[in-house]
Amino acid sequence: MRRRSDRGSATIVGAAAGLAVLFAGLVVAKSATDLISRAEARSAADLAALAGARWARAGQSVACARAREFATANHAVMVSCVLEGLDLEITVEVKGIRAVARAGPVRGAGGPDAA
């Protein structure tokens, strides 16, 4: 009876382990990229909404134009801009990730307009 040779099996196991580590690294890199894109989208939306809300009294076209400038400066694409009263709601997209932000005047007790 002849024994089968195990010669070369360590190479196959090592290659499989290497591929598993490579795959795990790719998953971590993709997750990190998505996390960063989400943060960039949220920041761009917040800044655009704040910038546009400053011009809300001038009307939607002026407020949205200002918001678009800030979104573009933050490497985002403005998807929508809606002015409701003095509240401006902005939706932006960064690398396929969308974020929404709303900005307007402070309301309620304790604010700077409180009597």
The string of pLDDT tens digits covering residues 37-67 is 999 999 999 999 999 999 999 999 999 999 9
Assess if residue 110 is contained within a domain.
no
Assess if residue 115 is contained within a domain.
no
Assess if residue 114 is contained within a domain.
no
Assess if residue 6 is contained within a domain.
no
Assess if residue 61 is contained within a domain.
yes
Query: Which residues, at least 6 apart from 108, have a Cβ–Cβ distance to it below 8 Å?
Result: 114
Q: What is the pLDDT of residue 13?
A: 86
Assess if residue 108 is contained within a domain.
no
Domain with residue 44: its CATH number is 3.30.1300
Q: What is the pLDDT of residue 115?
A: 46
Domain interval for residue 68: 12-103
Cβ atoms of residues 29 and 76 within 8 Å: no
The domain total for the chain is: 1
